Amino acid sequence: MIIRQYEPADRQSIEEIQFNTYFLGKSMSKFVSNRKPFSAELARYFEESESIFVAEDKGRIVGYLIGCLDDSKHNKRLSYANFVLSNFTKSLFFSKQDRAYWASRFAFLFNILIGKSGELKMKTPANAGHLHINLLPSSRGKGAGSKLLQAFFRYAKKKGIKVVHADSFETRLNPNKSFWIKNGFKPYSRIRTLSWKKQLPKEEIYYVCYVKAL
């Protein structure tokens, strides 16, 4: 297993992993057939490509960590709203299955705006770096995630970053708190979300911000 910084040739692999892990660590293929819209959500991270790290196993990219050193430069809420609204509009030309998914995303966005889903109450640390990590199911539990984090920590510390945070879904089906705690993170804020309510109507889903001092 090799952990290294991102190269432009890795982008397609990262986009494929994102699609195959987007639904609480599982593939989105059950809900949509058009993968292209999901690439747009990652686009802003490629503007800071030096903050991206990949896990490579036998010449294949099996995981990635995308980060930014100054989270204040990105308005994640506005970016996500634009992402959903844009694709909800475009979905008029998508398949019936895809239209249903983007309609559920639009409903989720509306629930955020009216306060039914708790995202507007989510707190994140000021003046902090941010990261997002994904691994293919076959590569989990082998230390690749921790190695990606350590590579990013070393890089961020050299750049003078003192605090980083990561946001993660927490559900009965996707327990991952131990991963963050093991790697030195502490829970910072936690809200109840309706993000996947359409797909998992009986599941309680929380969105958690984890923080680590470097």
Mean pLDDT of 166-180: 89
Average pLDDT, the chain: 92
CA–CA dist 79, 88 (Å, integer): 14
Percent of the chain residues topping a pLDDT of 90: 76
- Average pLDDT, integer, range 58-74: 88
* Three-state secondary-structure class, residue 189: strand
Res. 213: pLDDT tops 90:
yes
Report residue 104 as tokens: 């559920």
**Confidence band, pLDDT 50/70/90 cuts, at residue 71:** confident
- Strands of the 129-135 sheet, one edge to the other: 2-5, 53-57, 60-68, 129-135, 163-170, 206-213, 186-192
Query: Is 128 in contact with 153 (CB distance < 8 Å)?
Result: no
The residue type found at 99 is: R
What is the per-residue pLDDT for 74?
A: 67
Q: What is the pLDDT of residues 78-119, one digit of tens each?
A: 788 888 889 899 888 899 999 999 999 999 999 999 999 999
Task: Domain count for the chain, please give it.
Answer: 1
Range in 67-71, 110-114, 118-122, 159-163 with the lowest mean pLDDT:
67-71
What is the three-class DSSP state of 25? Answer: coil
Question: Whole domain around residue 182: which residue ranges?
Answer: 2-213
Residue 75 has pLDDT above 70, yes or no: no
Please give the pLDDT value at position 105.
Answer: 94
Sign of the alpha-carbon dihedral angle for 193, 15, 28, 100: positive
Q: Write down the pLDDT at residue 120.
A: 93
Q: Specify the pLDDT at position 191.
A: 96
CATH number at residue 6: 3.40.630.30
Residue 153 has which token pair?
């920590």
Residues 167, 177: Cα–Cα separation, whole Å: 11
